[in-house]
Structure formats: C-alpha cells, structure tokens
Structure 1
Amino acid sequence: MPYEANATNLAEEVGKQLPYLRRYARALTGSQESGDTYAAATLEALLTDASVYDSTLHPKLALFKVFHVIWHSSGAPSGESDTQLSAAAHAHLAKLTANSREALLMSVIEGFSSAEIAQITSLSKGEVGELLNAAYKEMEASVTGKVMIIEDEALIAMDLESMVSDMGHEVTGIARTRKAAVTLAGQKTPDLILADIHLADNSSGIDAVKDILSDLGDRPVIFITAYPERLLTGDRYEPAFMIAKPYTEEQVKVAVSQAMFFSSTETLKV
C-alpha cells in the first residue's frame, strides 16, 4: 500500500528522516561539510517546489529520491573540503562503476531493499542488483592501509580486528581509553580510526579522536554508536562515517572501504 503523506506534516516527516540523509550524504562524499551541503540543497529544493517530493512513498524514500536527483544533477562529485584527499583515492574513485557506491551505501548503511533503491534511483531491481554486485567486487579491490581501533569491550575489539585484518588492512593496535588511544596513535600513525563513543574509564571516544587529529592532522574516522543521529547535530567535531550498533560484518567492511577512499595519507596502496 503506498504511503500517503499529509502536506501539513511534511516538515515534521522530513525532519525525522534528515539525520539519516545526512549520514548517507557524508558517507557518500567523505566529508561533513560537503555531505551537509547536499542535504541542505535537498531541503531547499523541497521548499522551492514541494511537488518534487513523492508523497506516495515512505518519507525516507521520498527524501532520498529528491537527494538522488540533486546529487546526479551536480555530476555526483566526491567531497573535497574537509580533508586533503590523496591522489590514490581519487584515482580509485574514478574507476568505480557509476551509481555502485550509492547503491551499496543505501543497501548496507541505510538498510534499503533493492526494490526501494530502485524507487529512489528510478532504476529497475535488476539494474540495482547489478550495481550491488559491481560494488562488492570493487570494494574487494579497495585501498588498504593502517587501522587503529578504539574500543573498550574485548570481544567487540577482537571482532573488529578480525574483520579489518581479513580485508587486508594492518591493525596498529587497540586502545580502551582516551589516554591509551592518544599514546597508541603517537606510536604508530593510523590511516583510519575506528572508534567507540563510550570508553572503559568513562572517557569519550570523540575526545580521543579530537586529540589524535589535533596531533596528526585529518584522516578518516568511523564512529560506532547505538545512536548515530545524536552525532548529526551540525556541530564539530562530527564524523563523516558512522556505524550503528548492533552492527553487521557487512556494515563494518563497507564503511571501512568507503572511508579508505577518502584517506588523506600517502601510505595507502591500491
């Protein structure tokens, strides 16, 4: 049965879905600033002409569909403003099948089905399936580098370490507290940081990342949290990449591969 949206509560419906659009836009562009710019452009389009919003769809689907039109009308660029993107990452991105990253992120990070992605992108389910297959193949050939894990729960830390290592990345170590994380980062510089929010001594993974980036400069960070929308307030520091708990192996691997595309270090290998 189609979802019938009421024009009077359109703002409320869009508002509820906006954190998820911002999460997706940031992951797609690799940048908080660029992702939020596209999310804002989507809202501006709705304010200018509400008819672009398909009220027969669920609000999240309708909002993502408007975003998708704007994204592709601008040439689907990658984010450039938050970090110094490496030449290797740009070269790798240029080789990806068109629409494959979008389909993969919508499927794994946002949980859309192939049928829903087809509605958002105006493609057939068969075409979406082909894009997802291409995305997984390309992900296997993604850039590799050094990954640091900030996680206080031993079993989760071991699980993440196993996943990251299986992808061909080198794990520099595991830190359980803010202080230990800063020390570890100083001992072996990571290309990517995978961080929990709440740490063993009640310190903050966000504060740990702030300290590390202050010392080492920009590099991609993936936060793992049960409440990703709470990190999408528009303030800094906010991550471009987030995984919601409980996570799946597929979500971790896709997020890590996507984040590596935008790494700013020179140690990455294609």
Structure 2
Amino acid sequence: MTLAAKLAPHLPLLRRYARALTGTQRDGDTYVRAALEAIVSAPEDFPRDVDERLALYRVFHAIWSSSNIDVDSEEPAASNFERAAHERLAAITPLSRQALLLTAMEGFSHEDVGYLIDLDPDGVSGLVKEAMEEISRQTRTRVLIIEDEPIIGMDLDSIVRDLGHDVTGIAVTRDEAVALAIDTEPGLVLADIQLADDSSGIDAVKDILGRFSVPVIFITAFPERLLTGERPEPTFLITKPFQRSTVSAAIAQALFFNSTAAMR
C-alpha cells in the first residue's frame, strides 16, 4: 500500500482538527495542504517510527509551528498570512488549547500529544487542566440543542448546564429548531443532522444562519455527509458516540472563535 493510500483515511480527521485549531475552514485547509505538500516533496522525512496518523499530525504541527507556508494567491490577504498565523497562534490558540483538542477531540493519549508538541506527558496533563479551567471561565451563553434522540439530548443538556450555560430548548425537527432559534436567539447551537421526522439538521442550521449569525457544532453519527470537501464545512464536528470532554472542548473552542458553520 502506498503512503498516500495509508494517509487518506486520516485526512478528514486532520482537516477537522485544523479547522478547530485555526477557526476557519480556509485557514485549516491551507495548513493541511502545506503539510501534504511537505510530505510529497520529502517522503524520506516522513516519520516511520510511529503509526501513520500520528506521523501525519506530527508533520502538520511542524508546519503549524513554523507557519512557513506558500499561500495560494487567490486566498484573501495572502501576503499577510504568515504574520497573521503567528498572531493567531499567540493570541487565539495557546498550547493548552492544542493539547485539549488533541486529547479530547482527536483522542490521542497524553504520550502521543507530547510527541506532537514536544512535551512530556505531565506537561500535557498540565496544559489540558489549564484549558479546562479556561472552559469554566467562558462567558455564559444560551444553547439550542437540535437532537431527536431523547437520551442524547438529555446528555447534551447536562453537559451544557454543567459548563455554566443555559439551554433554550431541545428541538427534534427542523421546523421546531428554527422556531426555537427565532424565539430565543441562542448564542450557540448543537445540531444533529438526521432528525425525528426525517428532516435535516443541516437544513435547520441553514435556516437559522439565514436569520442571524451563531456558532454551530454538529454532533452526528454520519460525519461523512459533512466532510466531503465539496462545499464549505462546519468548523466544529463531533462524531457519535462522543465523550463529554469532547463536547466540552468543542463548546469552548466554538465560543472562543465565535465561528459559524457556513453551510451554503
């Protein structure tokens, strides 16, 4: 099997992580593309002493840390991209957030994260703790949950309230979600994509974003429906079944970046 074939299954997950790290699909994909170009140009330098996914993320982090990227001229503000990336790293995405995303969202062990960001496991644990403390300091907001499975809806409700936020309601259909959003104007939306009456959470989010901007986190058992690379994708996407820590991390990141899912 070629190296490209081995890496292909891991690319959607890396793109998800890159979007969460940078705050936008465009910026995240730019870094992923740069990492792949680095691998193609020097395949002999690709790490061979760890599994392919860990090695892929290692190359990505090397690119992210250096910000040594040739940006496509069609990208807006391309001439300022590297400087902006450094500023983003310093002001928006501290190392603690990287550690939290890599453990809680990507499922890496503390030892693996240490390999990726050049720290020992104890140092990673400290960063994760620091990031979780940041979560607890997030400004309270009102959260709309779009989820047709009662147990999952209750679980999400519990997670949101434990983080200190309020829940405006749990919608189980597209029409109910839009009506609740218009009525309550939430500061965050957690959305499944397959709803009770066979309506679509994606369509519900489109309708909501057509009325006002709000950060959106998709939580779904069908991530392949959103990670197609054929249209703008959500910055924050969680796969079912999920861990509470994963949802907590995504909520913190979404509120921090105040991102919207540009599902147009």
Same fold (TM over 0.5): yes
CA apart distance, 1:129: 2.0
Q: How does 1:134-145 map to 2 (within 5 A)?
A: 134-145=130-141
CA apart distance, 1:58: 0.3
| Secondary structure in 2 matching 1:232 | coil
Q: Residue 241 and residue 42 in structure 1: after superposition, are their counterparts in 2 closer, same or farther (change >3 A)?
A: same
**Cα distance in 1, alignment partners of residues 217 and 105 from structure 2:** 12
Q: How does 1:212-231 map to 2 (within 5 A)?
A: 212-217=208-213, 219-231=214-226
CA apart distance, 1:148: 0.8
TM-score (norm 2): 0.85
Q: Deviations over 1:93-139 (max 9, x none)?
A: 8387x311111111011110011111112222222222122222222
- Aligned partner letter, 2:4: A
Q: Residue 192 and residue 236 in structure 1: after superposition, are their counterparts in 2 closer, same or farther (change >3 A)?
A: farther
| Secondary structure in 1 matching 2:106 | coil
Moved over 3 A (4+): 93-96
The match for 1:260 is 255
Q: How does 1:192-211 map to 2 (within 5 A)?
A: 192-211=188-207
**Cα distance in 2, alignment partners of residues 142 and 21 from structure 1:** 26
Deviates more, 1:27-36 or 1:99-108: 27-36
| Secondary structure in 2 matching 1:173 | strand
Q: Residue 183 and residue 61 in structure 1: after superposition, are their counterparts in 2 closer, same or farther (change >3 A)?
A: same
CA apart distance, 1:264: 6.0
The match for 1:106 is 102
The match for 1:10 is 3
Tell me how many residue pairs correspond in the alignment.
242
Could you tell me which of 213, 232, 241 is aligned with 1:246?
241
- Aligned partner letter, 1:260: L
Could you tell me which of 142, 146, 169 is aligned with 2:142?
146
Tell whether 2:42 aligns with 1:45: no
| Secondary structure in 2 matching 1:198 | coil
**Cα distance in 2, alignment partners of residues 95 and 232 from structure 1:** 25
- Aligned partner letter, 1:35: G
Question: What is the Cα-based RMSD across aligned positions, in Å?
Answer: 2.2
Gaps of 5+ in 2: 69-75, 77-86
Alpha-carbon contact 2:25-2:232 (below 8 Å) kept: no
Gaps of 5+ in 1: 1-7, 76-80, 82-89, 266-270
Point out which structure has higher relative CO (alpha carbons under 8 A, 6+ apart): 1
Q: Deviations over 1:66-86 (max 9, x none)?
A: 0101111129xxxxx8xxxxx
The match for 2:55 is 62
Deviates more, 1:42-51 or 1:56-65: 42-51
Could you tell me which of 168, 176, 181 is aligned with 1:172?
168
CA apart distance, 1:17: 0.8
The match for 1:94 is 91
